[in-house]
Chain A
Amino acid sequence: MGTTPRLDPALATSPDEDASRQVLGPAERRGDQVFRAVSRGAAQLILLLLAAIALFLVWRAFPAFQANTASFLTTTAWFPDQDPPVFGIAALAFGTVLTAAVAMVLAVPVGYGIALFTVFYADRRVGAAAGFITDLLAAVPSIVFGLWGLAVLQPHLGGLGQWLNTYLGAIPLFRNDSGLYTKSILVAGIVLAIMVLPTVSALSREVFVRVPATHVEAALALGATRWEMVRASVLPFARPGMVSAAMLGLGRALGETIAVALVLSAAFDVSWQLSEPGGNTFAANIALKWNEAGPIGLSALIASGLVLFALTLAVNVTARAILARRARFSGGAA
């Protein structure tokens, strides 16, 4: 990607430079200089911002780390303004990862499906309309998703929870001992799934569109069915992009705040039982506790934000690493 083979000598000497500059003759024009400075500045600004955010979080989180009388990593309680302060992120980290995991399990296959349908299966016009409608989901404010999840979705999920408990209750994930099916990680996960769906489907659609027509036509010419064509020529080419789409969706699921704060019961427990009331996430906890927090409470919330920051950073780095590794043997698709 991103290479223009016409200008080989110039490219060989300076692969980083924009190829079109060579066509225009003079080595540097003012416009080029300005543009390069601006774009370089923008790129550096991002790094600077990230570093500044990390620094701010560490600096403001420090008093909480000092004041905490319990283990920050393993405690499942949040009483930072109590004397002595006791708080830890175990329940938050667990709930954050579990809700995001539920969301990904539900959203990723559907997102890929939507993208495949719009690009390879649907009539061009129907496909475009379907893609457009999915993208519209991304424009709905998250508080609307939260209120909808609370008022509309949740009352209808009791049946699903009961069904899971009855038929799959042997698996701890689906067991429900409380008889209550509201305010659960399952509800939050489904709301999150709908929220990340447009991210996953829009990004993977972009990748599918870029699959070279020659690959697709070659597969079809060899007598492959649609599905065989997708498997043989689309998926191998698109895989890095699909991973990247899922990771970006995961980033959103991990960080979503108000919808989760509204839906979850915000309990500080570590329970695998998806359909029981409970669960909490980093972002939701910050939203719920920030207003009334005292000095140590604020600092403790920032400390939890620092962990979320590290978690999302790790997710993104992993995604990049996967991308870089895959790119080598899938024809430099990224």
Chain B
Amino acid sequence: MANHRTGRLAAIALAGALVATGCGADAGSDPAGAVSTETAQSGTSGRGQLDCATGALTASGSSAQANAIAAWANAYQGACPDATIDYQPNGSGAGVQDFINAQTAFAGSDSALSSAEKAEADARCAAGPAIDLPVVGGAVVAAYRVDGVESLVLTPQLLAGIFADAVTRWNAPEIAAANPGVALPDAPIVHFHRSDSSGTTDNFTKYLSATAADAWTFPGGKDWSAPGGQGAKGSDGVANAVASTPNSIGYLELSYARSAGLRSAAIDNGAGPVEATSASAARTISQAEVVGSGHDLVLSLDYATKAPGAYPLVLVTYEIACERGGDPETAQLTKSFLSYVVSDAGQSVLEEIGYVPVEGALLDKVRAAVDAMSV
């Protein structure tokens, strides 16, 4: 009850703050802003206060970002008790369709809208375009279980060779050359891929096509297209398969590899091996080129990056929302929630749960896009 009342208070205080600033970047001196920072403090430390809105919001899409949105929704609802965020992780494709059919306020998607989808989504939004906002990053790692091998370096060529069944033994000379001093076993490589459709597969194969085109000749996409290897369902399925199979390797998202206690290979794009961490992956994402127009921030990742300390095998997932229009209350809540998502507080949540935050100039662009959203 008490909690509820402070929420009300915060909401009232916010109303003032909202008038003053779009996203409250420097509302610290504003007394109203200060009150709301204090009362709505759970989950928001760092940048500005939380601009609470009220009502209920439904969204759906990518299951890859389900944990991130759950954490955000939890923190947001804790701070803004009059708001409800409901996210259905029913898959990117279904999420985009739900958004186009105006059943949801925003969609989570592993890939930006295709040109056909963009046209339909623009038509749905009517008052303004539909925009792709890259807010959740991730790192795909090659997790392995080779007993006795503490660290492993793989080049794009080696990754492509292993997953295309061209490099079949752990002690192959190519692998040994990239790992001087490592005692590699004389054993066949067992490799696992995703048996279900997945954005992880899409990004992994895109990376291989971009960096090792001669060794990787299979079509990309969300479905694994190379022969050989074994499929497992979901990132957790791949993690379990690798963990329970000696001399195996599989690609999966960083957070799953961590929680399964698996080692992952450092990747050498040509400028020295880089370990997969949230920080090293964030470096690659923040250098991505924006190819969308206006506030539609579609990214083109530089998989072949040779920047020092940048882990190249990354993915970006988007929230897709209308820039303008729609039901005013829902639009207000969408904007408020996304403002929290792109705040320092929101982005710092990502690292804790194994995702990769968006940083630097790119984050500024995303914030500008969210600020420009209007009813």
Contacts and interface: CB of A to CB of B under 8 A. Distances in A.
B35 interface: no
A295 B97 contact: yes
A289 B230 contact: no
Contacts of A182: 230, 245
Q: Among the interface residues A78, A261, A269, which one has the most CB atoms of the partner chain B within 10 A?
A: A261
Given A79-B219, A180-B230, A289 B190 contact: no
A241 B215 CA distance: 58
A261 to B, nearest CB: 6
Given A79-B221, A151-B240, A183-B231, A265 B92 contact: no
Q: Among the interface residues B110, B190, B233, which one has the most CB atoms of the partner chain A within 10 A?
A: B233
B221 A266 contact: no
A289 B223 contact: yes
Q: Among the interface residues B221, B227, B231, which one has the most CB atoms of the partner chain A within 10 A?
A: B231
A179 B233 contact: no
A109 interface: no
Contacts, number: 74
Interface string A275-318: 00100000000011111111101100000000000000000000
A262 B233 CA distance: 6
Interface stretch (B9-17, B196-204, B358-366): B196-204
A141 B237 CA distance: 19
A264 B97 CA distance: 29
Contact of B196 (A180, A292, A294, A297): A292
A266 B241 CA distance: 14
Interface string B193-222: 001111100000000000000000001011
B63 A291 contact: yes
A155 interface: yes
B24 to A, nearest CB: 36
B221 A293 contact: no
A186 to B, nearest CB: 14
Contact of B197 (A262, A269, A293): A293
A150 B245 CA distance: 12
Contact of B223 (A79, A150, A155, A265): A79
Nearest to A279: B231
Interface SS of chain B: loop
A124 B188 CA distance: 55
A277 B248 CA distance: 14
A267 to B, nearest CB: 7
A22 interface: no
Nearest to B89: A291
Interface residues of A, number: 30
B230 A277 contact: yes
A269 B93 contact: no
Contacts of A183: 230-232
A234 B244 CA distance: 48
A237 to B, nearest CB: 45
B231 A265 contact: yes
Nearest to B222: A292
Contacts of A265: 195, 230-232
Interface in B224-260: 225, 227, 229-233, 237, 240, 244-245
A266 B229 CA distance: 10
Given A79-B223, A81-B222, A155-B244, A288 B93 contact: no
B20 to A, nearest CB: 43
B273 interface: no
A81 B91 contact: no
Given A262-B237, A265-B230, A277-B230, A79 B225 contact: yes
A69 interface: no
A161 to B, nearest CB: 14
Q: Among the interface residues A293, A294, A298, which one has the most CB atoms of the partner chain B within 10 A?
A: A294
A290 B91 contact: yes
B231 A267 contact: yes
A292 B199 contact: yes
B90 interface: yes
Contacts of B196: 261, 266, 287-289, 291-292
Contacts of B63: 291
Contact of A291 (B93, B227, B229): B93
20 contacts: A151-B240, A180-B190, A261-B195, A262-B233, A262-B237, A265-B230, A265-B232, A266-B231, A269-B227, A277-B229, A287-B196, A288-B196, A288-B197, A289-B197, A289-B223, A291-B93, A292-B92, A295-B97, A297-B197, A298-B93
Given A151-B240, A288-B196, A288-B197, 11 more contacts: A78-B223, A79-B221, A262-B237, A288-B233, A289-B223, A290-B91, A291-B91, A291-B197, A292-B110, A294-B93, A298-B93
